[in-house]
Amino acid sequence: MPMRTLWSLLVLLALAATPALAQQPVYHDIHSMDMPRPPVVTPGTATNETIAPPSDAIVLFDGTDLSNWVSQREGNGPAEWIVRDGYMEVAPGMGGIQTKQTFGDVQLHIEWASPEVIEGDGQGRGNSGVFFMNTYEVQVLDVYENDTYPDGQATAIYGQHIPLANAMRPRGEWQSYDIVFRRPHFDDDGNVITPARFTVFHNGVVTQDAVYAVGPTSHKKRTPYKAHADALPLGLQDHSNPVRFRNIWIREL
């Protein structure tokens, strides 16, 4: 589908939804520093207690090993990130990792923490990403008193949708994402019928409300949809920052 037609479809979908069900699209230059910043919201009190997965969840990481993950480097060998003290940590330069299992429509719970020691700023501080179907990214970034382009901050649908709020806890503390992802649907000719859709909670605060992805995640460009399988792996990004992850579970919808 041509991008102009896709944008028209997204506008119609957004206008057809009630305000309670979908946030309105915001048109802007990708990664513009002139975009309005989301309001800062102080989330509920942080706790070191993790949320136990429900009975029907698939536990992707329980703090002990990476047996459910493989490397994204050529050959998809064993995941080479660091596991210790109940969390996994990005091993900078070792590449991203992805699940062995493939998924389509899901509910995902994932907790992460940026390094306590401040290094870098903007996109260079606590940067990683959660990639659904290895294609559509929810941004991971330390934006606690750290300015960056709003469509690239924590819980942004990277390069596409600015979060409704910045619910970041201080660096070093655990953050939680709860995400409902609906996969895109394609017709027999490979044209997108229904775009991918996200609802995201950051530390219990809704930051993306049933927003439609305009296409695969790209940097500083709009990439059109391309038909793909109904189920693909979930990926975590190596962006050269030692971000930590724990308590990762998923429910198929």
**Per-residue pLDDT tens digits for 173-204:** 999 999 999 999 999 999 999 999 999 999 99
Burial of 41 (0-12, 13-18, 19+ CB in 10 A): middle
* Mean pLDDT score of the chain: 88
pLDDT band at 24; cut points 50, 70, 90 = low
| 78-117 per-residue burial string, b: 16 or more CB within 10 A, e: under 16 | ebbbeeeeebbbbeeeebbbbbeeebbbbbbbbbbbbbee
What confidence tens digit (pLDDT) does each residue in 51-109 have? 789 999 999 999 999 999 999 999 999 999 999 999 999 999 999 999 999 999 999 99
pLDDT band at 39; cut points 50, 70, 90 = confident
Q: Considering the entire predicted model, what is its pTM?
A: 0.85
pLDDT band at 34; cut points 50, 70, 90 = confident
CA nearest to 134, candidates 72, 87, 180, 89: 72
pLDDT above 70 coverage of the chain, percent: 86
Which of 26-35, 132-141, 145-154, 233-242 is predicted with the least confidence, judged by mean pLDDT? 26-35
Do residues 22 and 13 make contact, with C-beta atoms less than 8 angstroms apart? Answer: yes
